[in-house]
Amino acid sequence: MFFTLSKLAWFVFSPVNFVILLVGFCAMLSFTRFARTARWLGAAAALGLVLMAFSPVGRIVVRPLEDRFLQQDAARGPVAGIVVLGGPIGIARDDVVLLSAGARITKAVELARLHPEAKVVFAGGAANLISPVTHTEAEGARLMFTGLGLAPDRLILEDKSRNTLENAVFARRLVDPKPGERWLLVTSAWHMPRSMGVFRKAGFPVEAFPVDYLSEGEPEDFVRPYARAPRGLVIADDGIKEWIGLLAYWLAGYTDALFPGP
């Protein structure tokens, strides 16, 4: 139920979707007795869209998320396994497609080569709400990992999870981590605080290894505009979604902290 409600709610209240829907609603109201109010509301919505598209709002939103967990020394000590969260990969026309968070996959391969004794766990099924599932993310991950030279017997593929909560719970069941083992968690830096909170709550002790940064980590993040509107809109959307996700997971009891930290 949580998965279904979250998908439906986010379709409507995703910042970009919401603003576009609001502009359309105001356009319809402009032919009614509420035309004056509609014009003002529509203008405010259009301004919000422009700010998300071109101003540094997106970076300002994601920067605290990405600063929460630092990338550690990958060579420090032995590693039992590397857990990679779904979202960055798919299959189209029987070939692998890397999506915007593809750095999760490439960094996992880099870490796997650095630690040849480590297992590589990919947690990701299909988050489809309406359309039928033809391929899971885990299928794409298997093709990519083996194509990049990882031995199939090193891979543990979890193909049922649909969100971060299920990623943690199902992965823990599969690998049954032992006390003292070191497991690295690889996901996008802006997604790491919520992921760490969920894994801790699920009883899977992991160490954060954030990748796929959307901000530069420099003072310019707070002032530099975006040159292309789609980039700004995507980053603002992802960042605001993650803050809402942190609140929702905390209220639902899936994490013990509102903003999990090191």
Q: Is 36 exposed, middle or buried (0-12, 13-18, 19+ CB in 10 A)?
A: exposed
Strand 95-98 relative to strand 119-123, pairing: unpaired
Closest CA to 161 of 131, 119, 126: 126
Distance, C-alpha 262 to centroid of its chain: 19
Say how far apart CA 180 and CA 64 lie, in whole Å.
Answer: 30
Query: Each residue of 122-175: pLDDT tens digit?
Result: 999 876 656 666 789 999 999 999 999 999 999 999 999 999 999 999 999 999
The structure's pTM equals 0.90
Distance CA 157, CA 155 (A): 6
Strand bridging mode 95-98 / 89-92: antiparallel
262 residues of the chain, pLDDT tens digit each: 666 776 666 676 788 888 898 989 999 998 899 999 999 999 999 999 999 999 999 999 999 999 999 998 888 889 999 999 998 888 889 888 988 899 999 999 999 999 999 999 999 987 665 666 678 999 999 999 999 999 999 999 999 999 999 999 999 999 999 999 999 999 999 999 999 999 999 999 999 999 999 999 999 999 999 999 999 999 999 999 999 999 999 999 999 999 999 9
**DSSP 3-state of 97:** strand
- The closest alpha carbon to 59, from 188, 209, 224, 260, belongs to 224
